[in-house]
Amino acid sequence: MTPTDSKCQHITAHTATQTSPCRILSCVEKAPKCAHVSLIPVADSDQRSCNQPSGSRVLQDVHISALLMENFLELARENTQKDLETCGILGAFLEHETYYVTTLIIPKQESTSSSCEANEHSLFPVGWIHTHPSQSCFMSSIDLHTHYSYQAMVPEAFAIVMAPTDKSRSYGIFRLSDPGGMSVLKECEESGFHPHGEPADGSPIYEHCTNVYTNTNLRFEIFDLR
């Protein structure tokens, strides 16, 4: 048991005011008096790369509700059945040196089977979440460029990939290695799908987050603006 496991987290969601009608889901997982907080598991095949020394800076912990990811996948089901990606923006607040994800915004967006682009951002983001409806769980070159802008603003920013058809791993939580991956993306001027070179420091261009935890007592809201 880690020190985090023994602490209760009492989180109050802040309601955002909308000037136009939108679908809003307010949820809280049923949980015991003390929340269960657990580190996101990493698949065995990825364990070696995660355990290797990395030049990445020390990051503050991030808590997210597993139910939020499940609800997002349900909202994306219609697009998934059409082999279209769906994306959302994750908003968090910072308390006691820990980020708590309490808001998911699904903005108006343009999607294909291998890309998704939001048309508007209305919340300072700590990360984003999107589907790979028929692909495996990984970060494409377009995903890496999308994520770069998030991580450039907030070092703790992360990307969640939901891959419902991937039998080996249905989701992953990733970030660019820093400084390695961040440097590669900063210098890259290409667009669309394209290969990236290896970072100069020998690190992978992106990696699994080791500072993100699921928190069963974390309230969150979902705003579907599509």
Structure token pair of residue 166: 């991937």
Structure token pair of residue 63: 């808590």
d(CA 216, CA 213): 10
Structure token pair of residue 144: 């890496």
- With CA atoms as reference, report the closest residue to 158 among 135, 136, 181: 181
HSE (CB half, 13 Å, CA atoms) of 56?
27
Average pLDDT for residues 106-116, to the nearest whole number?
87
Asked if residue 159 has pLDDT above 90, the reply is yes
Of 149 and 4, the one with more pLDDT: 149
Of 107 and 175, the one with more pLDDT: 175
Domain ranges of the chain: 24-32+57-107+123-190+199-226
> 125: exposed, middle or buried (C-beta count within 10 Å: 0-12, 13-18, 19+)?
buried
What Rg do the C-alpha atoms of the chain give, in angstroms? 17
> Which residues, in sequence order, are CB contacts of 142 under 8 Å at separation 6+?
114, 115, 192, 193
Asked if residue 147 has pLDDT above 90, the reply is yes
d(CA 114, CA 171): 16
Average pLDDT for residues 26-48, to the nearest whole number?
51
Q: How confident is the model at residue 157 (pLDDT cuts 50, 70, 90)?
A: very high
Asked if residue 126 has pLDDT above 70, the reply is yes
Which CATH superfamily is 24-32+57-107+123-190+199-226 part of? Cytidine Deaminase, domain 2 (3.40.140.10)
| pLDDT over 70, % of the chain | 73
> Residue 44: its pLDDT value, please?
52
pTM: predicted TM-score of the whole model, two decimal places: 0.61
Which amino acid does the sequence have at 193?
A: F
> Residue 221: its pLDDT value, please?
87
> Residue 107: its pLDDT value, please?
86
Q: Tell me the pairing of strands 116-118 and 109-111.
A: antiparallel
| pLDDT over 90, % of the chain | 51
- Is the Cβ–Cβ distance between 100 and 215 less than 8 Å? yes
Model confidence pLDDT, tens digit, residues 168-182: 999 999 999 999 999
